Structure 1
């Protein structure tokens, strides 16, 4: 879906984990296409064979724009990713390889490598060094596959133990490892909750931004349901050199299709 801002167009992708939950997952592809989306993202494709998801994409005329690396099972130390967990190297590497295989079949150009939770007993410096080493290994694999990986920081209100401290830390890791292969996932919702100054921070990080996601705050609903001035935010993104997708990673407060009225307000 392309919408016009005061500074030009931006491309929106539907997040099928958060949107169209009124219907079963496999029906969400057609629902997104019927709303005018041409791209979709979702964290975990691993519940279905990659070939089945490819079929669903082709049937609905959609592009897959992003997937995440796998999360560990419920209750495990790697439930939000394995990169930051000392001792989980083999699980991390297997997950990265699986993600790259899925991304190749689906044609997804970007994979979000989940940092995961820092174990309470782990030394912070050791956990961070382990993380950077893991991202370096993942970058080598992604480079060979022609896929970009992105790193996302989750705000400390929602997840106090998440490994990445901030988007600025993610950017520093990307710079240290390989900025051509590793980028920042700039999530506007997490940026606002973390410390605000969304436009200023985006402008500083823009050269490293490899993907963008949006939701409003509070409530994580669609733009227009909270405090974020999305007219200005999206216009600034449109005016930048960022040419990728913007994932709608929000939970509609009502029916998904009705909530999309915000896109018309922005365009108007």
Structure 2
């Protein structure tokens, strides 16, 4: 059975952030992820993880100025030092929480910057960041994001991401395969998973097109989750969705899946 991680940025928003760890544990999650932890001291987060016996599966490097439109800095020429400083901050949180996966958002390509410039900056930053993470046993992740939710984002397609993996050539650089984004941009999720699984370091799920629970819409999630078991995927599956009407109330899909897996066993 896949190891599900509750995304505490999108889920359990009924309570303050630091209370979401307890809520996720009460609902049976053994792992959590979130976008950005930096508004809270690393030790406060580490304490919640320990008290509730939770694994920190993933979080993102600082994205830059989110309110001003930044969606990561890895591809932004001239901001290499800021990206490097953000990585160092993220590593302090990773050490405190025991997190072994960090997502480096590529960023929106700025006006006046060519795709070639953005790509070269991205590859150089990823190569340095992966090298910095490697001695600490941390995997660096990159994620293709759909152009509907994030126009102008550099990285949009699975093959594009895996080509970058080959170019950077760092064994601890992997792809964060979000089936929500992939379905919107490409579809053919099962075949893409089978083709790229060796380079996939994390998976995320959400219903398409509304980004609610993975129990409605275009994607057959029970089939795909079963495929993960069949191909031997060992990573986490992040539940990065916006609950329709209450987080705990919307977990019927997970209960049904766990019941079916127990029955099949």
TM-score range relative to shorter protein: over 0.9
Deviations 1:6-54 (A, max 9, x none): xxx1110100001001111111000000000010000101111111110
Counterparts of 2:45 and 2:230 in 1: how far apart (Å)?
34
- What are structure 1's unaligned runs of at least 5 residues? 1-8
Counterparts of 2:223 and 2:201 in 1: how far apart (Å)?
20
Match of 2:137 in 1: 146
* SS across alignment from 2:226: helix
Counterparts of 2:17 and 2:117 in 1: how far apart (Å)?
39
Match of 1:103 in 2: 94
Match of 1:54 in 2: 46
Matched, 1:65 2:57: yes
What are the within-5 Å matches in structure 2 for residues 1-268 of structure 1? Answer: 9-76=1-68, 79-267=70-258, 268=260
* SS across alignment from 2:171: coil
* SS across alignment from 1:117: coil
Counterparts of 1:263 and 1:74 in 2: how far apart (Å)?
32
Counterparts of 2:228 and 2:66 in 1: how far apart (Å)?
36
Is the Cα contact below 8 Å between 2:206 and 2:241 reproduced in 1? yes
Deviations 1:203-260 (A, max 9, x none): 1110000001000101100111211100111111111131011000000101111111
Counterparts of 2:118 and 2:183 in 1: how far apart (Å)?
26
Counterparts of 2:134 and 2:221 in 1: how far apart (Å)?
34
* SS across alignment from 2:202: strand
Is the Cα contact below 8 Å between 2:37 and 2:59 reproduced in 1? yes
Match of 1:4 in 2: none
- What are structure 2's unaligned runs of at least 5 residues? 261-265
Cα root mean square deviation, aligned: 1.2
> What stretches of structure 1 move > 2 A for 4+ residues in a row?
74-77, 264-268
TM-score calculated relative to the size of structure 1: 0.94
TM-score calculated relative to the size of structure 2: 0.95
Counterparts of 2:194 and 2:112 in 1: how far apart (Å)?
36
CA-CA distance at 1:92 after TM superposition: 0.6
